[in-house]
Structure 1
Amino acid sequence: MKIYKLTAFETNGEKILDEAFEAKTDEEAKQIGEKMLSEKGALEKTHRCTSPSGQLLLFHM
């Protein structure tokens, strides 16, 4: 399992989500990240999900 990082921000720059989670693949990480954002009401907020190698998997501004 690899560790991925999910971060979301308010429009004023305040960090509202800063989570690390495990997934087997990048595709699984994207699904988990979207679910976490949805559960926290942050799907439409500025967010990013990065892989352990630094690849950007999810991004919304």
Structure 2
Amino acid sequence: MGVYKLTAFEPNGHKLIDEAFQANSDEEAKVQGEQLLIEKDLLDKTHRCTSPQGKLLLFHP
């Protein structure tokens, strides 16, 4: 299990969410990250989700 990082921003750089969560795989983390963004109504905001190794799993400019 690894710790993944989800961040969403406003266009001016203000962070809307900066949250760490655990997942068993990159695929599971992508699903969990998208779910968190949907729950917080941030899916259309600029966001990224990274793996413990720094791999970019989700990105929306």
Q: Do they superpose with TM above 0.5?
A: yes
How far is the alpha carbon of 1:11 from its aligned partner? 1.5
* 4+ runs deviating over 2 angstroms: none
Structure 1 residue aligned with 2:32:
32
- Count, aligned residues: 61
Aligned-residue CA RMSD (Å) = 0.4
**In 2, distance between residues paired with 1:34 and 1:16?**
15
Where in structure 2 are the equivalents of 1:4-43 lying within 5 Å? 4-43=4-43
How far is the alpha carbon of 1:54 from its aligned partner? 0.3
AA in 1 matched with 2:18: D
Consecutive unaligned residues in structure 1, runs of 5 or more:
none
**TM-score, length-scaled by structure 1:** 0.98
How far is the alpha carbon of 1:37 from its aligned partner? 0.4
**TM-score, length-scaled by structure 2:** 0.98
